[in-house]
């Protein structure tokens, strides 16, 4: 089974600060890590390989230093890493990013499953996974919390809902975005780390993946960021004091005003 | 201090630290309380390949040596000196095979140990043979293609949990110390049983049991080296394993020290953090200096062992003696810095103090280490004349 995992390198959210003037992330000096949601995608890819055999290829679009994220993925059990990197990709929104990744996946060739984290911790859009499947014209199941089985060219998965879950059967090839409930990612192994150290990361430019210049980077991105702002802090709730019975009566009155 | 570790050693240390922080530290108090064996952690260590750091590559390991074993034991012990013994006790049980075993024996046992599929244990101590290892009573009698073992080993680390046991038994009573031999016994062999699990002051997550042999029949091929070399096998084992105990002690000391530093910065008395008081500062400074000195001695010894030096008994004993005494002192001071909180089991440092104590006792009490050191000093002096 050929499995492709798409990942993103993001600033480590535990120490992210917001520039109070521009309202954007201060990225200088912030350590880059694999998007936490993507670590579940990597783990699931490796587990599917262990269950069904095959190979896991991990792909990212990003600056040259994103190579580190790919090497980390290899230390966690992925077989091969592909870095799609080109200055022409700068300014990509989710549309251009998912187009770019889909072109890279087409270049990889035959595949059975594409796995993405449900969203990135920096942008939080949850659009790239579904975008890739649309560009590839394959079925997608988002918020997958369990892969029950894959056989006879069909995959049966559990899709997390607010209350409970759906069981979805889909033909393969298909794309999953996964939630953190799906597994608990392993730590790297020493042999994996050594394999990662000597692993050769494949690097592809916009030309290599035959990307349409009008569909990538800023030009290929219909999204315009109009304004970024920090939402005002929420006001504290109203505290009622007194005897319990009085408070209960007061709450009923308040609820009448607010809700009804 | 920069110990000029190579790239692979840094990788091993950093991964061991990660395993310790993510898999051991969160469960250390739980297993100390329940006294259960931390099999989930053993699985995580196995998955990380760390069980194989000191095993040659041809037997499925990473090809490191005693220094690599020490780096891992130290990192694990920073989080929990007891769970670390699943690793370090396996190292002790493996050494006789690694240092004195035949190629067949190595091929048969080392790959599983390297993968963490099977743990190991070393059996020498008996009720009447502690420091006086020469008075062991367990016998091994040759009968055709087999040896028949009889006797009871006591306080065996990893006993019951491990699958591979290296056992010292007497093959010829008339020859004294030259009448002992070393054997490999696999768990499940008929005639091999385990006593009840001991209740201990510290290292409570480590399994300690009796190993009882009653007409236990093992293949003659399980003899390590030759008949009569049992004590040589044991001494060679201790030369390589004592730095591991020392590293465990350094880890325990460092773990307690780290807690003490953090606590001293948050504990406010007389309107200021107690870390602002010179009385506390000087304690911390002494604790840190002693721990670093112990680490330096341990690493230097481990490197000497790995270099293939002929005689390392004195240095191994020095490392074990010094590091374990330091661990006891540093952990006691850590409890002192925590004050009343330090005495409470709800806080982490009293466990370090309980765990530290064993490092002064096992794999040769520190009194025995001093005997070894002194004996070597006298021998060296004799040679000069």
pLDDT recorded at residue A260: 60
Cross-chain Cβ contact A190/B15 below 8 Å: yes
Sign of CA dihedral A172, A173, A179, A180: positive
pLDDT band at A231 (very low <50, low <70, confident <90, very high): confident
- Chain B hits for A193, CB-CB cut-off 8 Å, are 11, 15
B55 touches chain A (CB under 8 A): no
Residue that wins the pLDDT comparison between A16 and A167 = A167
Q: Does A184 touch chain B (CB under 8 A)?
A: no
**Separation of alpha carbons A39 and A115, rounded Å:** 11
Range 194-233 of A in CB contact (< 8 A) with B: 194
Tell the CATH topology of B231-379: Butyryl-CoA Dehydrogenase, subunit A; domain 3 (1.20.140)
Task: Let me know if B378 is exposed, middle or buried by CB neighbors in 10 A (0-12, 13-18, 19+).
Answer: exposed
Q: Answer yes or no: are the C-beta atoms of B176 and B240 closer than 8 Å.
A: no
Test A190 with B47 for CB contact under 8 angstroms.
no
CA atoms lying within 13 Å on the CB side of residue B200:
26
pLDDT surpasses 80 at A244: yes
Helix, coil or strand: residue A179: coil
Mean pLDDT of chain B: 97
CB-CB under 8 Å, B11 with A190: yes
For residue B48, which residues of chain A lie inside 8 Å, CB to CB? 187-190
Does pLDDT of B38 surpass 80?
A: yes
What DSSP assignment string belongs to B252-288? HHHHHHHHHHHHHHH-EETTEEGGGSHHHHHHHHHHH
CA A155/CA A173 separation, integer angstroms:
9
For chain A, the helix, strand and coil percentages under 3-state DSSP, each to the nearest 5 = 35, 25, 40
- Cβ distance A187 to B23 less than 8 Å, yes or no, reads yes
Does this model's pTM top 0.90? My answer is: no
Distance from CA of A191 to the nearest CA of B (A): 7
Helix then strand then coil, % of chain B, to nearest 5: 60, 15, 25
Strands (DSSP E) along chain B, which ranges?
A: 120-123, 139-143, 146-157, 164-170, 180-186, 192-194, 208-219, 223-224, 268-269, 272-273
Give the number of other Cβ atoms within 10 Å of residue B283's Cβ.
19
Q: Does B11 touch chain A (CB under 8 A)?
A: yes
Q: What is the DSSP letter of B129?
A: B
Res B375: pLDDT: 97
B72 touches chain A (CB under 8 A): no
- Contacts A189 to B, Cβ<8 Å: 47-49
3-state secondary structure of A241: coil
Cα–Cα distance, B323 to B364 (Å, whole number): 14
Nearest to B44 among A187, A191, A193 (CB): A187
**What local confidence, expressed as pLDDT, does residue A18 receive?**
75
**Listed residue (A98, A112, A95, A13) closest to A54, CA to CA:** A112
Contacts of A187 in chain B (CB under 8 A): 15, 18-19, 22-23, 44, 47-48
Give SS3 for B241: helix
| Best mutation target, A187, A189, A195, to test chain B (most B CBs within 10 A) | A187
Tell whether B15 lies on the interface with A, counting CB pairs under 8 A.
Answer: yes
Phi, psi for A166 (deg, rounded to 5): -95, 150
Task: Give pLDDT, residue A234.
Answer: 84
- Chain segment A149-191, per-residue pLDDT in tens: 999 999 999 999 999 999 999 999 999 999 999 999 999 999 9
Question: Cα separation of B201 and A83, whole Å?
Answer: 54
Of A124, A150, A142, the closest CA to residue A179 belongs to: A142
List the helix and strand counts (H, then E) for chain B: 12, 10
The residue annotated as part of the active site, out of B68, B210, B227, B363, is B363
CA angle B122, B128, B131 (to 5 degrees): 65
- What domains can you pick out in chain A, each with its CATH number? 2-215 (3.40.50.620)
Lowest mean pLDDT of A230-244, B131-145, B183-197, B247-261, name the range: A230-244
Q: What is the mean pLDDT of residues A217-222?
A: 90
Per-residue model confidence as pLDDT tens digits over B59-113? 999 999 999 999 999 999 999 999 999 999 999 999 999 999 999 999 999 999 9
The pLDDT value given to residue A21: 74
**Mutation choice for B interface testing from A190, A192, A193, A195 by most B CBs within 10 A:** A190
A187:B22 CB<8 A: yes
Query: Exposed (0-12), middle (13-18) or buried (19+): which is A64, by Cβ within 10 Å?
Result: exposed
Q: How far is A188 from chain B (nearest CA, A)?
A: 6
Contacts of A194 in chain B (CB under 8 A): 8, 11
The string of DSSP codes covering A37-70 is HHHHHHHHHHHHHHHH--EEEEEEES-GGGHHHH
From the CA of A187, how many Å to the nearest CA of chain B? Answer: 7
In this prediction, the answer to ipTM > 0.90 reads no
Among the CATH numbers 1.10.490.10, 1.10.540.10, 3.40.640.10, 3.30.2090.10, which is that of B7-119? 1.10.540.10
Query: Do A189 and B11 lie within an 8 Å CB cutoff?
Result: no
Query: CB–CB of A187 and B49 under 8 A?
Result: no
Give dist(CA A71, CA A66) in Å, integer: 9
Cβ distance A187 to B15 less than 8 Å, yes or no, reads yes
Condensed to tens digits (0 to 9), the pLDDT of residues B295-352 reads 999 999 999 999 999 999 999 999 999 999 999 999 999 999 999 999 999 999 999 9
Q: What is the pLDDT of residue A89?
A: 93
Query: Length of chain A, please?
Result: 260
Q: Rounded CA gap, B30 and B255, in Å? A: 17
Fold of the domain built from segment(s) B121-229: Butyryl-CoA Dehydrogenase, subunit A; domain 2 (2.40.110)
Tokens encoding B123: 């059996």
Mean pLDDT within B127-147: 94
> Catalytic residue at B104?
no
The residues spanned by each domain of chain B are: 7-119, 121-229, 231-379
pLDDT at A224: 84
Q: H helices of A76-127, where?
A: 94-108
What confidence score (pLDDT) does residue A225 get?
Answer: 80
% chain B with pLDDT above 70: 100
Beta carbons within 10 angstroms of residue B245's beta carbon: 30
CA B382/CA A80 separation, integer angstroms: 62
β pairing state of A165-171 and A154-160:
antiparallel
Q: Is the pLDDT of residue A15 over 70?
A: no
Query: How far B157 CA lies from chain A's nearest CA (Å)?
Result: 26
Residues 6+ apart with CB under 8 A from B301: B243, B246, B312, B315, B316, B318, B319
B44 interfacial to chain A (CB closer than 8 Å):
yes
- The residue of chain A nearest to residue B53, with distances taken between CA atoms, is A190
* Cα–Cα separations (whole angstroms), residue B235 to B177, B185, B332: 12, 19, 31
pLDDT of residue A23: 67
Which residues lie closer than 8 Å to A255 by C-beta, 6 or more apart?
none
Mutate to test the interface with A, among B10, B11, B69 (most CBs of A within 10 A): B11
**For A112-176, where are the alpha helices, taking DSSP H only?**
128-136
Please tell me the number of Cα atoms within 13 Å of B383 on its side-chain side: 6
> Quick count: other Cβ atoms within 10 Å of Cβ B129?
18
Beta strands at A80-84 and A202-204: parallel, antiparallel or unpaired: parallel
* Cβ within 8 Å, pair B18-A193: no
Q: What are phi and psi of B28, to 5 degrees?
A: -60, -50
Instruction: Report the mean per-residue pLDDT for chain A.
Output: 91
Decide if B242 contacts B364 (C-beta within 8 A).
yes
Q: How distant is the alpha carbon of residue A194 from its chain centre? A: 26
């Amino acid at each position: 089974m050929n499995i492709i995992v798409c990942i993103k390198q993001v600033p480590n959210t535990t120490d992210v600060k917001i520039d109070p003037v521009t309202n954007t992330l201060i990225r200088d000096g912030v350590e880059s890590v694999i998007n936490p949601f993507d670590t579940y995608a990597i783990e699931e890819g490796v587990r599917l390989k262990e269950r069904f055999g095959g190979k896991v290829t991990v792909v990212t679009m990003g600056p040259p230093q994103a190579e580190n994220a790919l090497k980390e993925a290899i230390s966690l059990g992925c077989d091969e890493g592909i870095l799609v990197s080109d200055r022409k990709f700068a300014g990509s929104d989710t549309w251009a990013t998912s187009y770019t990744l889909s072109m890279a996946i087409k270049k990889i060739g035959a595949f059975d499953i594409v796995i993405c984290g449900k969203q990135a911790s920096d942008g939080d859009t949850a659009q790239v996974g579904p975008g890739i499947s649309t560009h590839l014209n394959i079925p997608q199941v988002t918020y997958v919390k369990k892969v029950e089985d894959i056989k006879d060219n069909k995959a049966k998965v559990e899709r997390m809902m607010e209350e409970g879950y759906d069981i979805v059967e889909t033909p393969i090839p298909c794309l999953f975005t996964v939630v953190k409930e799906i597994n608990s990612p392993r730590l790297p192994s020493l042999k994996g780390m050594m394999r990662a150290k000597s692993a050769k990361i494949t690097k592809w430019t916009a030309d290599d993946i035959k990307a349409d210049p009008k569909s990538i980077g800023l030009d290929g991105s219909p999204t315009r960021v109009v304004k970024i702002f920090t939402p005002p802090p929420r006001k504290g709730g109203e505290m009622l004091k007194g005897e319990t019975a009085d408070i209960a009566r007061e709450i009923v009155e308040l609820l009448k005003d607010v809700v009804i | 201090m920069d110990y000029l570790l190579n790239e692979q050693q840094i990788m091993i240390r950093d991964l061991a630290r990660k395993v310790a922080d993510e898999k051991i530290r969160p469960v250390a108090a739980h297993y100390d309380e329940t006294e259960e064996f931390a099999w989930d952690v053993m699985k995580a260590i196995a998955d990380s390949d760390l069980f194989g750091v000191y095993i040659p590559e041809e037997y499925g390991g990473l090809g490191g040596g005693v220094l690599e074993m020490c780096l891992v034991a130290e990192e694990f012990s920073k989080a929990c000196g007891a769970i670390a013994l699943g690793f370090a006790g396996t190292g002790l049980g493996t050494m006789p095979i690694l240092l004195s075993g035949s190629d067949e024996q190595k091929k048969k046992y080392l790959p599983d140990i390297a993968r963490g599929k099977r743990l190991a244990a070393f059996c020498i101590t008996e009720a009447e043979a502690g420091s006086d290892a020469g008075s062991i009573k367990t016998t091994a009698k040759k009968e055709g293609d087999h040896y028949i073992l009889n006797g009871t080993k006591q306080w065996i680390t990893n006993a019951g949990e491990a699958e591979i046991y290296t056992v010292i038994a007497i093959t010829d009573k008339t020859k004294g110390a030259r009448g002992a031999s070393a054997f490999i016994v696999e768990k499940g062999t008929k005639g091999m049983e385990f006593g009840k699990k001991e209740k201990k002051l510290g290292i409570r997550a480590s399994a300690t049991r009796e190993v009882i042999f009653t007409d236990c029949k093992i293949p003659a091929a399980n003899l390590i080296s030759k008949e009569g070399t049992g004590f040589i096998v044991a001494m060679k084992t201790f030369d390589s394993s004592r730095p591991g105990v020392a590293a465990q002690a350094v880890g325990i000391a460092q773990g307690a020290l780290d807690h003490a530093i953090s606590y001293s910065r948050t504990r406010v008395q007389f309107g200021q953090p107690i870390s602002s008081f010179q009385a506390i500062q000087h304690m911390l400074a002494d604790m840190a200096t002693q721990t670093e000195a112990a680490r330096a001695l341990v690493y230097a010894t481990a490197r000497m062992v790995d270099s293939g030096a002929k005689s390392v008994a004195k240095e191994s004993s020095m490392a074990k003696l010094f590091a374990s005494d330091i661990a006891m002192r540093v952990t006691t001071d850590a409890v002192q810095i925590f004050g009343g909180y330090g005495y409470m089991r709800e806080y982490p440092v009293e466990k370090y103090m309980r765990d530290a104590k064993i490092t002064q006792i096992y794999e040769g009490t520190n009194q025995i280490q001093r005997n070894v050191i002194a004996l070597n000093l006298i021998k060296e002096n004799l040679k000069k004349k």
